[in-house]
Amino acid sequence: MENQAFTSVSLLLYIILLLLLPAAVQSQQQNLPGEYYEGRVYVKIQESAGLQWADMDSLQDLSAYGPFAELFRAFGVYRIHKPFGRLSSSFFDHTYQLYFSETGQEQAFIQLLMREPAVEFAEQVPVMRSFYTPNDAYANNSNQWFLAQIDAYDAWDLHQEGEGVVVAITDDAVKWNHEDLDGNLWINEAEYDGIEGIDDDGNGYIDDYIGWDAANWDNDPQPPAYASSAVFSHGTHCAGIAGAVTDNWVGGASISFNNARIMSCKGKTDGTTGTEIDEAWGAFAYAVAAGAEIISCSWGGSFSLVNSNLVSLAIDNGAIVVAAAGNDNTSIPSYPAAYTGVLAVANTRSGDVRNTSSNYGYWVDIAAPGTNILSPIAFNQSSYDSYNGTSMSCPMVAGLLAHMKSYKPNAANEEIVDCLLSSADNIDVVNPGFVGALGSGRINARAALECLDGGGGGGDCNGIALGLTITLDDYGDETTWGVYQSGNLIVSGGPYEEGAEGLVIQEPVCLQEGCYDLVFFDSYGDGMCCDFGDGSYFLTSPTGEVLASGGSFEDQEVNNFCVNGSGGGSGCPPPNDLHAFEVGYSHLYLDWTPVAGDAEAYRTRFKRVGQSVWTEGNWFTSSATIWANMLPCRDYEFQVQSRCDGIEGEFSNTVILSTRGCEDEYCYSYGTTWDDWIARVQLKEIDHETGKSYGFGDYMDLSANLEQGAQYPLTLTPGTDDNQQPVYWRVWIDFNQDGDFQDADELVFQQSAMNTTPVFGAINIPGNTLTGPTRMRVSMDPNGFAESCSTGSAREVEDYTVIVNEGSPNSSSWEETMAFSVEVFPNPVRERVYVKLPKRMDDPASFVLLNAQGQVVKRWSQMEVNESQQVSLDVSELPSGLFWLEVSLASSRAVKKIVIH
């Protein structure tokens, strides 16, 4: 059918949105890094629990929520919904967002929720903000300087219009009828030609002809009528950068040259102002459901496990996700940019210099111009302005990706991304303080397309230009090569022509000062010389010095070489007596005899025995170092080199060292970095201040005596060298002593908190647990709840012994909790609070008091109930404030808010 008119938001939905608006607009900085909404949490229900919550959009009877009813009443829960329930995913079918009136009590609510067995995890909902800084109106709008900077014109000589690629602009809104956008709009043909009021394409959204408004929940992603250069133009500006209509005598050009089809995904509620995009993730979810090929996210905020899973679903469904790194001039990761698999984009200005506002760091993948970028805005259908920010850099990368996918529509996403990164111009020379912190460099559109044609990629050399001369044998199609640094591929080439024996190939190699591995490969396994021709290669410096050479090998040949600032190689003597003085499961302490005389620094490197690529460390003045990204029970080759008067010497002879773990009966679990660590574990007799364990700590010599059917308090304390961020704790006990942690009930503890805050909880020992010693595993990971046998780059694991003894006959483990009502008085209270239970109970009661941060501040165990069904609790030593009292009685519990004066 023809698109007659967009449906409007119903009056009821509009009223609900207005009621929710203040909580969205007036969010404040919380005790977590970045911003999180007050009065909102994500809750993930265990999929095995068989529990589904009904949606609730206003205050109503909470009794349908069973054991959660009293907890919801205590915190004033007034809205429950599945934010991403339309996606085909079991994870999101069990993920809810709860809105509650007890704002400022988010951490307490989270800790109480996670004490319910059916809850897998709970977390705060992060605020997402756009990343741009407006310029004065129409500044620098006379040209589009960035197109020449990224070699767009040369790229257009290779490829102009081809197959359209769907680019989702997830943002505040998109003025889709702008004069320089409407020709490149994505149209949902199934809905456009379908029946009004029906979800014709089955994606969960009705009549989404050109996109979706996830904030006002309708099918018109247009900004409101009051949009200006400062308000509701961010998404329109980003859309123009990614896919403005090009070669139309109107407005500006986009790098995608009419190959992007802009999917409009609105994420900001009408009536709001500022940079907050309150439904950014709802807009993202629509892009996933609608099948976007590239998703552009010029916004960001703090980490969320729920949102991380949403990004993973997008990538699994075939999308390339691009995100702005942020404009805070910091190396602190921003999300979604720092999520695994997302392309994080930094901002450069003319001359390829980093814009001083741009974020940077190891997690950034690529840089692109984002300064004084002219593009459409939403003021009217013919308005334009120039903006600054990584928000502008992000859609420029998205637009280039669209151009690349249009050029090679059958190329896999991995190939597209690899060519984007490997073809970037190295900009380290003009950003000396940010080497390695701006990703692979600044995008080069021409080189990216050439890479897809099988070239080596790379633009102009902004480093040291080396020459690689290759003389082919008769089977050049078997020859490939690569230059690696610290295990990362820097540049590569080949295969070459078959039957061209004696043909000489000149390959330019642009590198920065440092040491590298040149690896030549032969796919057949007979090298380049000498059975089928005299093939060879040699790598030369700008001064003509031969840095590496060869040709006679089997399947591969490795040459180690270094270049200094003048392009030459040289050095001072290597150190002696390299050895390990402490060996762990995933780390080794190394030291060596210092070089006599002028050695100013040292560097070590390692590789697995039998492999060819070395991983290199940083330079240190000390003659000792630690490597902590090892695998257990592996053999490694180590070398060390020195630097004298700024000149790097040769590496020492190889020493083979082995990590621990070959005799361990349990699976390995460890981390390879140590900015966050387990600082202290407290359980019964165990009170161990560990400090850094460098990924894994074996403390099986420490033990706690526990009884069948009993419950024990547990305290876990983190340590950190880094910025504040959430960390996720899990504890397992091998109850049946079968050498793993995979059996039912062996995950005994799970909580999240900041890396500056201890967590408190209880461990329950089932009544049928085997007696005797067994293993307890403690895991802490900033990237989410880890599995018992998994590894991660930023986690720490510690193993302890627990000894299970026979318990009393009446002991029993936790069953599913049931809610019940209690009365507390007086409230507010000064010294003593009384708790009245609903009926006479034979079992003693237990009480836990939590503060607003979710920390347990006091416990009362096995309290006897008097004849009046009351228990008296002394709170006289506690400070004034708001607290949450959890009452546990057999398998029932209740939660009440109390105020202490």
Active-site positions? 171, 234, 391
Radius of gyration of the chain measured on its C-alpha atoms = 31
Task: Name every residue whose Cβ is closer than 8 Å to that of residue 483 and which is 6 or more positions away in sequence.
Answer: 489, 490, 491, 492, 509, 511, 516, 517, 518, 519
Closest CA to 670 of 799, 584, 800, 792: 792
Please state, in angstroms and rounded to a whole number, the distance separating the CA atoms of residues 680 and 703.
14
Please state, in angstroms and rounded to a whole number, the distance separating the CA atoms of residues 783 and 795.
8
Please state, in angstroms and rounded to a whole number, the distance separating the CA atoms of residues 175 and 153.
27
Sign of CA dihedral 379, 381, 386, 387: positive
Helix (H) or strand (E) holding 296: strand 294-297
Q: What are phi and psi of 39, to 5 degrees?
A: 75, 20
DSSP state of 47: G
Helix (H) or strand (E) holding 299: strand 299-300
**Helix 390-407 crosses helix 234-243 at what angle (to 10 degrees)?**
30
Please state, in angstroms and rounded to a whole number, the distance separating the CA atoms of residues 254 and 755.
43
Please state, in angstroms and rounded to a whole number, the distance separating the CA atoms of residues 275 and 217.
20
The partner residues of 729 in beta bridges, in order of sequence, read: 751, 780
Please state, in angstroms and rounded to a whole number, the distance separating the CA atoms of residues 67 and 894.
9
Cβ 145 vs Cβ 351: under 8 Å: no
**Tokens for 50?**
């068989």
Cβ 844 vs Cβ 101: under 8 Å: no
Helix (H) or strand (E) holding 718: strand 711-720
Sign of CA dihedral 761, 767, 773, 774: negative
Write out the E strands in 755-795.
759-764, 772-781
Q: Are strands 260-266 and 211-213 parallel, antiparallel or unpaired?
A: parallel
Please state, in angstroms and rounded to a whole number, the distance separating the CA atoms of residues 133 and 376.
15
Start-to-end C-alpha separation, the chain: 66
**Tokens for 727?**
């960390």
Sequence-ordered alpha helix ranges (H) in 298-410: 305-316, 390-407
Residue 867, CB-side half-sphere exposure with 13 Å CA sphere: 0
Cβ 571 vs Cβ 644: under 8 Å: yes
Residue 202, CB-side half-sphere exposure with 13 Å CA sphere: 1
Please state, in angstroms and rounded to a whole number, the distance separating the CA atoms of residues 545 and 846.
78
Residue 180, CB-side half-sphere exposure with 13 Å CA sphere: 28
Task: Name every residue whose Cβ is closer than 8 Å to that of residue 444 and which is 6 or more positions away in sequence.
Answer: 150, 151, 423, 424, 425, 458, 459
Give the three-class secondary structure for 21.
helix
**Tokens for 453?**
């044609």
**Tokens for 867?**
């004849």
Q: DSSP string spanning 830-848? A: SSEEEEE-SS--SS-EEEE
Cβ 476 vs Cβ 498: under 8 Å: yes
Q: Is 877 exposed, middle or buried (0-12, 13-18, 19+ CB in 10 A)?
A: exposed
Please state, in angstroms and rounded to a whole number, the distance separating the CA atoms of residues 493 and 507.
8
